[in-house]
């Protein structure tokens, strides 16, 4: 009952005209950003975050904007997957496998509408999941002391490296770079400057926003200038625009299953939409058995990953709101956005700032309805944007990024650091290094260090405290499983393939 | 005897000029800790009094910049934002102590304008509501029995004002302050959260912080206040340390 009361309060916040408009704008921008190949939710949120701050939006409005962009991206990614066979963002990679063949068969309209529908169902189920589980977890969060937090962060890093599929070592390296960057600046315990090189601008550390904009936006711009994607392969939407009841009935169970799996994966810290959509795609493929034609335009291959990537995006809000530990790269950027507003996400947020938390949750429901409306009838508008060459976006992104970085501290040093980090990020990405672990490492680094220090000062340096409570033991076991199990699974799958070939 | 009251002070970056006619706009107060502690309170006091007196056009924005009881904010305001004339930083006797000890890096007390002392606060010994410790005597007995079982949390590091309070308590009871377990948090808000979660057993913080947090529903109890006389308001029932036989 209490939850319902808070949720109604949240709707009162989310339904204010300004917040409604912001949610609609965010949903629209998000769909476009998600659709454009190369730009994903992290970029969208990273570019808009400083803008929202510079526009002096109140914190709940800013967060609603960023959340709508995030959800919008998960919707938008499917459009270019289906029509161009180029995934708009990482969460939509799986959608291309069956979405594009469907479009080639003249079913582009059906694929677009049913995937919008399953995205809607995925977000809706996951948002209900937030309402049910987040307050429970927030109450439980008091049991998280320094030792538990440290274990939780180790678990998050294990998730990142274990689940990053093909490049676990690169993901681990990226996380290390992020951790190292977070140590720059004045050590608050001893007053010693660390790695500042005597530069006054580094004395209070590297600003979060500079790192995010540098490694995501600036490096993205460099990549965009390098690779031109052509819109020549764009398939026209023709024929039937809407799915029929038979198609709905066929996909319904898979959509529900995928939404639940997506939500659970999203809640795990570090694991996001990419993993959720890949997992549910192969799950549905296995369950369909011989009567599926996955890879050749099976409609279930479009709905499952779309339901999952939206559900995991919503699910990743749970650890962010309750424990202050982001569940995905995008929510890591949002944590940074909140810290610009002096709001520390964590267990206290639910009691200290209910308007913000419940306003955000309510706005997820509202943005989701808006996105469904935007994405089914108005899909034609978005396909026109896909005809624009990518490089036309570069000046706009660069200008918004630079203004955002400058507005925080008003020093040109930050702009230079942003450019330097951008070039470094570009080089790392050329080597196939993922950037999301770097950002998570940077965000979590300080928390991790402080909590380890606190835990050890409770026991005077005795390491035993780290494995004392049931929560930390559970987290350590989970972390070990995350590191060990996926490689074993890959090895087994590899053997199977080899055996089948022989 | 050491002065017990922690001064709440406001600081302005050195290059900035404070004199201006009419209400100021875009004012900002930096609280160098996470929300919910004494610095937050200092800023809120400045915010409400300046607004009531019509010295500022809009409510003063409060920014939180945790790190080293003011060290990070001190460095930021001097190095990064010397031109922000309408920005003030909340400071405490505790940060002053760290500044004097050189824990703030390269800057010293001459790099800023010291504006005003807003109020004074008294130390307090705080435990969780469900704690078995009911008085200072219980606390001292527990520390004597096993110092590793009674962990002190505080809004600052060893050597800070909060640590001093814990150390003075220990010394007045004839214990070695070095045997105490001591954990540093970013401001009183975090320490009180850890207190409620049972991760630390005692918090040697400030009376005003405790009062604010209890108002907000925190499940904590104040064992003693470190003032000469009992305080007014919500904490009127709390005995002073002196009453309980500890001259701190």
pLDDT, one tens digit per residue, over A434-472 is 887 888 888 888 888 888 988 988 888 888 888 888 889
User: Quick one: B14 and B91 in the same domain?
Assistant: yes
Average pLDDT, chain B: 75
Q: Which of B121, B136, B154 is the last residue of a domain?
A: B121
- Tell me, yes or no, if A75 comes closer than 8 A to chain B by beta carbon: no
Nearest to B104 among A191, A201, A457 (CB): A191
| B105 and B206 part of one domain | no
Residue of B86, B105, B160 for testing the chain A interface, max A β-carbons within 10 Å: B105
Count of A-B CB contacts under 8 Å:
101
Residues B43 and B99 placed together within one structural domain of the fold: yes
Contact (CB, 8 A) for A191 and B103: yes
Q: Does residue B113 sit in the same domain as residue B141?
A: no
pLDDT tens per residue, range A200-257:
777 778 877 788 888 888 888 888 888 765 555 677 777 777 888 888 888 999 999 9
B19 has a pLDDT exceeding 50: no
Tell which of B94, B121, B148 closes a domain.
Answer: B121
Above 90 in pLDDT, residue A117? yes
All residues of chain A having their beta carbon less than 8 Å from the beta carbon of residue B216 are 351-352
List the single residue in B36, B69, B103 with the smallest CB-CB distance to A190. Answer: B103
CA distance A359 to A195: 40
Q: Does A205 touch chain B (CB under 8 A)?
A: yes
CB contact under 8 A, B64 and A342: yes
**Residue B193: inside a domain:** yes
Specify the CATH number for the domain of residue B48: 3.40.190
Cα A451 off chain centre by: 25
Reported as type and span, the H/E element at residue A420 is helix A412-430
A319-357 tens-digit pLDDT? 888 888 887 778 888 887 887 776 777 777 887 788 889
B130 in the same domain as B192: yes
DSSP string across B133-168: --SHHHHHHHHHH-GGGSEEEESS-TTSHHHHHHHH
Give me the number of domains chain A comprises. 1
- Of all residues in chain B, the one with the smallest CA distance to A186 is B72
Evaluate whether residue B197 is within a structural domain. Answer: yes
Same domain, B46 and B110: yes
CB atoms near residue A136 (< 10 Å): 12
Per-residue confidence band for B11, with pLDDT thresholds at 50, 70 and 90: low
Whether B112 is in a domain gets the answer yes
Residue B70 lies in a domain: yes
- Confidence bin at A23 (pLDDT 50/70/90): very high
* Structural domains of chain B, count: 2
Nearest CA in chain A to B202: A458
- My answer on whether B53 and B149 are in the same domain is no
- For B201, the domain range is 123-235
Of B89, B121, B153, the residue at which a domain comes to its end is B121
Is the predicted pLDDT of residue B14 greater than 80, yes or no? no
Mean of pLDDT over chain A: 84
Whole-number Cα distances in Å, A320 to A42, A146, A226, A454, A483: 15, 17, 35, 22, 22
Tokens of A406: 């400058």
Whether residues B52 and B152 fall in one domain: no
Are residues B181 and B105 both part of a single domain? no
B202 in a domain, yes or no?
yes
Calpha distance B94→A350 (Å, rounded) = 30
Q: Which residues form the domain of A243?
A: 2-501
**What pTM was computed for the model?**
0.77
């Amino acid at each position: 009952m209490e939850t319902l009361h808070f949720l109604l309060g949240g709707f009162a916040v989310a339904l204010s005209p300004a917040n409604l408009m912001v949610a609609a704008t965010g949903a629209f921008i998000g769909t476009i950003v998600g659709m454009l190949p190369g730009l994903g939710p992290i970029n969208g949120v990273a570019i808009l975050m400083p803008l929202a701050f510079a526009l002096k939006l109140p914190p709940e409005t800013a967060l609603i904007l960023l959340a709508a962009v995030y959800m919008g991206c998960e919707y938008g990614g499917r459009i270019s997957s289906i029509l161009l066979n180029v995934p708009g963002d990482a969460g939509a990679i799986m959608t291309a496998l069956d979405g594009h063949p469907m479009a080639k068969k003249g079913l582009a309209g059906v694929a677009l509408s049913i995937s919008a529908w399953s995205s809607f169902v995925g977000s809706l189920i996951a948002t209900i999941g937030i309402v049910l589980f987040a307050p429970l977890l927030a109450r439980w969060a008091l049991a998280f002391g320094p030792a538990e937090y440290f274990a939780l962060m180790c678990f998050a890093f294990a998730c990142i490296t274990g689940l990053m599929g093909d490049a676990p070592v690169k993901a681990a390296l990226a996380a290390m770079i992020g951790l190292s960057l977070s140590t720059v600046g004045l050590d608050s315990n001893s007053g010693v400057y660390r790695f500042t090189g005597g530069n006054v601008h580094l004395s209070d550390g590297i600003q979060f926003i500079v790192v995010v904009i540098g490694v995501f936006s600036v490096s993205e711009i460099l990549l965009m200038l390098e690779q031109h994607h052509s819109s020549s392969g764009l398939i026209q939407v023709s024929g039937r625009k809407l799915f029929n009841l038979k198609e709905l009935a066929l996909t319904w169970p898979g959509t529900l299953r995928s939404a639940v799996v997506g939500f659970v994966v999203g809640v795990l810290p570090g694991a996001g939409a990419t993993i959720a959509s890949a997992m549910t795609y192969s799950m549905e493929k296995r369950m369909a058995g011989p009567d599926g034609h996955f890879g050749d335009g099976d409609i279930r291959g479009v709905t499952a990953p779309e339901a999952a990537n939206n559900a995991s995006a919503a699910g990743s809000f749970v650890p962010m709101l309750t424990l202050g530990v982001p569940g995905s790269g995008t929510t890591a950027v949002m944590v940074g956005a909140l810290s610009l507003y002096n709001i520390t996400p964590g267990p206290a947020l639910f009691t200290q700032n209910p308007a913000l938390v419940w306003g955000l949750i309510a706005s997820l429901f509202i943005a989701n309805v808006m996105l469904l409306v935007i994405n089914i009838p108005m899909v034609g508008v978005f396909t026109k944007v896909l005809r624009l060459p990518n490089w036309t976006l570069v000046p706009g992104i660069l200008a918004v990024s630079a203004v955002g970085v400058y507005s925080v501290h008003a020093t040109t040093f930050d702009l230079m650091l942003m450019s330097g980090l951008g070039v470094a990020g570009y080089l790392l990405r050329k080597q196939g290094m993922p950037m999301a672990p770097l950002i998570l490492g940077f965000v979590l680094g300080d928390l991790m260090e402080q909590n380890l220090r606190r835990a050890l000062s409770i026991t005077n340096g005795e390491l035993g405290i780290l494995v004392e409570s049931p929560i930390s033991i559970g987290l350590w076991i989970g972390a070990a499983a995350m590191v060990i199990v996926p490689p074993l699974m890959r090895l087994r799958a590899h053997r199977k393939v080899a055996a089948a070939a022989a | 005897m050491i002065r017990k009251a922690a001064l709440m002070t406001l600081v302005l970056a050195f290059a900035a000029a404070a004199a201006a006619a009419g209400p100021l706009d875009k004012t900002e107060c930096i609280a160098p800790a996470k929300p919910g502690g004494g610095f937050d309170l200092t800023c809120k006091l400045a915010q409400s009094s300046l607004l009531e007196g019509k010295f500022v056009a809009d409510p003063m924005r409060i920014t939180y910049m945790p790190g080293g009881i003011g060290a990070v904010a001190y460095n930021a305001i001097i190095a990064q934002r010397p031109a922000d004339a309408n920005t003030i930083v909340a400071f405490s006797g505790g940060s002053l102590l760290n500044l004097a000890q050189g824990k703030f890096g390269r800057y010293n007390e001459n790099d800023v304008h010291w504006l005003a002392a807003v109020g004074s606060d008294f130390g307090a010994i705080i435990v969780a509501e469900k704690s078995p410790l009911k008085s200072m005597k219980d606390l001292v007995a527990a520390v004597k029995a096993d110092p590793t079982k009674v962990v002190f949390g505080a809004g600052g590091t060893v050597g800070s004002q909060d640590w001093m309070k814990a150390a003075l308590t220990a010394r007045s009871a004839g214990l070695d302050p070095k045997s105490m377990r001591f954990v540093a948090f970013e401001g009183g808000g975090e320490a009180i959260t850890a207190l409620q979660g049972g991760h630390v057993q005692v918090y040697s913080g400030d009376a005003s912080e405790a009062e604010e947090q209890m108002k907000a529903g925190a499940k904590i109890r104040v064992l003693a206040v470190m003032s000469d006389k009992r305080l007014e308001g919500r904490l009127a029932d709390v005995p002073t340390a002196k009453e309980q036989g500890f001259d701190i």
